[in-house]
Structure 1
Amino acid sequence: MKKIAVFGKPGSGKSTLSKQLAVATGIPLYPLDSIVFKADGSLEERTVFDQKHRDILVSESWIIDGLGPVEAFKQRLEVADTLIYIDLPYWLSYWLVTKRMLKGLFIKPEGWPEGSSIVQGTLQSYKFLKLSRQFWNESFEQRLNAMAATKSVYIIRSLSEMSQWIEQFKDNCST
């Protein structure tokens, strides 16, 4: 496990899981938002993003959480040796996005791009959640399961399953 892609709908806990993996393994974490957005919260130029993304993919080890441009996501799936798909129920993702926004009104969420509006980010997350059934669907999961022949593939469907997976992973790292 050296090249890990963590992905799923907004509000699914990708950042939380990725941070814990990075701490447990010492593998560098690259939150996709830090590559997609500039420090002021505006979108990075696509050519700059593509170069940063390629540089990470060819490095020895990495954890990248998020989706980003679809072509970059497909590249990541090809290069990664470990795929972690967090597929929480939609209602829970909506709740977690809302909770992040409410908390973010008082405290900037960890890893949130500087200068980026928590309200605008939340609206974008709601928009993506509404559209995401077209992407995160049975067909995608079948393609993902087919990749299990050559990669480690984990599909996490609940918060309790995520907590159990993280604890089991940490236990395996410490032995």
Structure 2
Amino acid sequence: MKKIAIIGKPASGKSTLSKKLAAATGIKLHALDSILYQANGAEIERADYEAIHQDIIAAREWIIEGFGPMNSLHSFNKRLEAADTVIYIDLPYTTTYWLVTKRFLKGLFKKPEGWPEGSSIWHGTLQSYKVLKLCPKFWNAQFLQRLETLTSDKTLHVIRSVAQLDNFVATHVK
């Protein structure tokens, strides 16, 4: 594991897992939301994002957490091509909706760790719910089949429960 892409639905535990994995491996973590959004919550220019993303995937090792711009699969596909390990967090939708709600409730008192500076927890939560509503069109059985094909020469981990998520680092990092 030297080039690790962590993907999944909003609030599925990608950030938490990626931080644990970075701490356990010493590999630098790149959270895409921190790259994609400016301090005021607005997205950076697409060309700037693509250039930063390309520099990261050209590095010898990395952990990249997140999906990236919602209206572009270009960087997502490039990341999957460059990765040697892909971790797909595929929790049930009921669990993911609960995790979005839990993040919001906690965020009323303390900004979620890694949350882009200046971004509204309320706006972010509404966006997460909107994205979750659309997720079955993308994060579905056909996506998993495509992912399995794209990663046939890589290591693919599919996490389907909070218990698997919680135990991933202890189970997979030596």
TM-score by length of 1: 0.95
1:30 corresponds to: 30
> C-alpha separation between the residues in 2 aligned to 1:144 and 1:44?
28
Displacement of 1:56 in angstroms is: 0.4
1:44 corresponds to: 44
In the alignment, is the contact (CA less than 8 A) between 1:147 and 1:153 conserved in 2? no
Displacement of 1:148 in angstroms is: 4.0
Displacement of 1:165 in angstroms is: 1.9
State the one-letter code of the partner of 2:25.
T
1:159-170 superposed matches below 5 A? 159-170=162-173
Say if 2:100 is the partner of 1:119.
no
- Figure out how many residues of one structure are paired with residues of the other and give that number: 171
Per the alignment, in what secondary structure is the counterpart of residue 5 of structure 1?
Answer: strand
In the alignment, is the contact (CA less than 8 A) between 2:24 and 2:169 conserved in 1? no
Displacement of 1:146 in angstroms is: 2.0
| Identity over aligned pairs, percent | 57
In the alignment, is the contact (CA less than 8 A) between 2:8 and 2:90 conserved in 1? yes
Moved over 6 A (4+): none
Per the alignment, in what secondary structure is the counterpart of residue 113 of structure 1?
Answer: coil
> C-alpha separation between the residues in 2 aligned to 1:161 and 1:89?
13
In the alignment, is the contact (CA less than 8 A) between 1:6 and 1:86 conserved in 2? yes
> C-alpha separation between the residues in 2 aligned to 1:48 and 1:145?
30
Distance 1:148 1:53, change over 3 A: closer
CA RMSD of aligned residues (A): 1.0
What is the CA deviation profile of residues 119-163 of structure 1, one whole-angstrom value per residue up to 9, with x for unaligned ones?
000000000000011110111101122234310000000001112
> C-alpha separation between the residues in 1 aligned to 2:15 and 2:24?
14
State the one-letter code of the partner of 1:154.
H
> C-alpha separation between the residues in 2 aligned to 1:29 and 1:165?
17
